[in-house]
Structure 1
């Protein structure tokens, strides 16, 4: 079975956090994390509507994902989102 780059992104850059009190990754931050992951892998990110469709195919509700970020893409996304941390 071929793994889509969306599945690879989810496996490398996210973790399930069922005990989270609040939503950790909403639509905007999930897409931002995806863009960071793509840049690190030298993959051209797909437009937001295609990303949302890809997440649906992977069984992810982007509004209630239950996902937290992890790995190098998480660090890149945080630093890119908050340049004062650099």
Structure 2
């Protein structure tokens, strides 16, 4: 297994959508990341590297009153997003 290419992950799994509401939560993005790594036989890298890659790609996070971080303007796409959604919402099966 190799260390993931974060640029490839972001381009395969997210599309910029300024109308997207609500923003994606960090746990959702990380869940898609883990699904993508599994589907591509990649070893997940440190979460700090993922967040840094997102920042360098122009994505900015916002801290909410709940203490959670959210990433506005992103929509999930692709097989890893489907895998994440189905594994996190078994009632959809």
Equivalent position of 2:65 in the other structure: none
- Structure (1 or 2) with the greater strand fraction: 2
Moved over 4 A (4+): none
> What 5-or-longer segments of structure 1 have no aligned partner?
none
Instruction: Kindly indicate whether the alpha-carbon contact (under 8 Å) linking 2:60 and 2:71 is maintained by their aligned counterparts in 1.
Output: yes
CA RMSD between the two structures: 1.7
1:37 CA drift (Å): 0.8
Q: Please, which runs of 5 or more residues in structure 2 have no aligned partner?
A: 62-69
Structure with higher helix content = 1
Q: How many residues matched?
A: 82
- For normalisation by structure 2, the TM-score amounts to 0.75
Counterpart position of 1:74? 81
